[in-house]
Amino acid sequence: MAMVGVTAVLLGLACPAGPASAARKLPRSGSDELHGQDHPRPQDSPVSEKVPLPQPRPAEAPGAKPEAPSGDKSAPAEAARPAEPAAPAPPQPSACRLALTEEIAIAPSVPDIHGPGGCGGDDLVRLEAVVLPDKQHVPLTPAAILRCGMASAIADWVRTDVARIATGLGSAVRGLDNFDSYECRSFNRIAGAHLSEHGHANALDVRAFKLADGRSITLTDRTVPRELRETVLHSVCARFSTVLGPGSDWYHEEHIHLDLMERHNNYKICQWNVWDPLPQIAPLLPSERPEEAPPRQVAAGPDAAKPEAKPERAPETTAPDTAATDGSAVPLPVPRPSIDTPSIDKPSIDRPATDKPATKKRR
């Protein structure tokens, strides 16, 4: 037992004092003494002074997304809402649209048309005017709704061919009369016919073009010189796949139809008869007869007296003087009537004196 006691004393001296013993050495506060509780006093830890603090947030860093307060009930609803689909990107302009600049034509783009029965089309423009190389504008009256390809062909025709024709007339082109462009209708407006190229915005009807000196050249006018109209005919037939004018049908007597219809083997139709000028109307009253003219011969009227033709007598056959051998009398033959003598049974018919025999008319 003595050995156990000595060992306990040595262990107590070797071990440092615990927290409880250190707490007993601290003075008690008034509340501790009142409630009889012992609480150790906090002491500064030397380890906390060596921990580094975080560096300040840089200015260019994105701001933190604010957290929704716990009492806000709208946050779950917004999180559950599906994201809206992004708007489709606008279509890229076609090569024709990029080439048809304001230096060639005033032709703003219009929305695509998708009408009933296949009417309309894509890549449409409103051709308002053609710009000549000298920057002069040739307006279309009214503006034409066309496909970009057709508008480009019209602009090239006006800038090149029509401008050269106007220069040959001693003037300049200043306008184009548009009779019809886009219209959702059948061919020649015939019920049941196939869709016209006007319904595809691929056709233009031209009536005339105007010059700077005030003249108007109507392409179907017969008073316009024939050579001029033939020059226009050759120019349009070389550029467009369909040309319809006077002589093609009764629907194109007052204008010229132009389109770019695609056919098998690039087949083209050019039907435009360039008519000659109409003859001048003769005066109503004849001119006076010159004095040196020979006197007119007056023809005999229908009631003029005609000399009576004597009838020709047919030769008569005489009976023999001798009697029959049997003693009976032989009857004499009846004389043949003359040719001019009318028949008793049939009435006489006076036919007109013509070289050809009278024929029955057919209905």
- Residue 299 included in any domain: no
- Residue 7 included in any domain: no
Q: Mind listing the pLDDT tens digit for each residue in 180-198? A: 999 999 888 888 788 999 9
- Residue 200 included in any domain: yes
- Is it the case that residue 266 has pLDDT exceeding 50? yes
Backbone angles phi, psi at 235, to 5 degrees: -70, -45
- Residue 161 included in any domain: yes
**106 forms bridges with which residues in the sheet?**
129
CA 309 to centroid of chain Cα atoms: 82
- Is it the case that residue 201 has pLDDT exceeding 70? yes
- Is it the case that residue 22 has pLDDT exceeding 90? no
- Residue 187 included in any domain: yes
- Pair 234, 288: CB distance under 8 Å: no
- Residue 20 included in any domain: no
Joined together, the tokens standing for residue 188 give 């020649």
pLDDT, average across residues 117-132? 94
Q: Mind listing the pLDDT tens digit for each residue in 47-74? A: 555 677 778 877 776 766 655 555 555 5
- Pair 125, 148: CB distance under 8 Å: yes
- Is it the case that residue 319 has pLDDT exceeding 80? no
Residue 140, amino acid: L
pLDDT at 323: 47
Q: Choose between 165 and 23: higher pLDDT.
A: 165
CA 245 to centroid of chain Cα atoms: 18
Q: Choose between 105 and 43: higher pLDDT.
A: 105
Backbone angles phi, psi at 258, to 5 degrees: -130, 135
Domain holding 196, by residue range, is 95-225
Taking alpha carbons only, the member of 234, 235, 209 closest to residue 224 is 209
pLDDT at 19: 46
HSE at residue 249, side-chain half, CA atoms within 13 A, is 7
Q: Mind listing the pLDDT tens digit for each residue in 344-353? A: 454 444 554 5
Q: Mind listing the pLDDT tens digit for each residue in 156-169? A: 999 999 999 999 99
- Residue 314 included in any domain: no
Joined together, the tokens standing for residue 153 give 């062909």
| ω into 337 cis (within 30 of 0) | no
**218 forms bridges with which residues in the sheet?**
208
pLDDT at 167: 96
The percentage of the chain sitting over the pLDDT mark of 70, rounded to a whole number, equals: 61
- Is it the case that residue 217 has pLDDT exceeding 70? yes
Q: Mind listing the pLDDT tens digit for each residue in 286-317? A: 778 888 888 887 766 666 555 565 556 655 55
- Residue 216 included in any domain: yes
Rounded to an integer, what distance in angstroms lies between the CA atom of residue 161 and that of residue 236? 9
**Which residue is associated with the tokens 């992004």?**
86
pLDDT, average across residues 95-109? 96
- Is it the case that residue 359 has pLDDT exceeding 80? no
Lowest-confidence segment of 40-44, 98-102, 237-241, 265-269 by average pLDDT: 40-44
Number of domains present in the structure of the chain: 1
Q: Residue 334: which pLDDT band, with cuts at 50, 70 and 90?
A: low
Rounded to an integer, what distance in angstroms lies between the CA atom of residue 158 and that of residue 217? 14
Q: Mind listing the pLDDT tens digit for each residue in 125-137? A: 999 999 999 999 9
- Pair 272, 247: CB distance under 8 Å: yes
- Pair 258, 146: CB distance under 8 Å: no
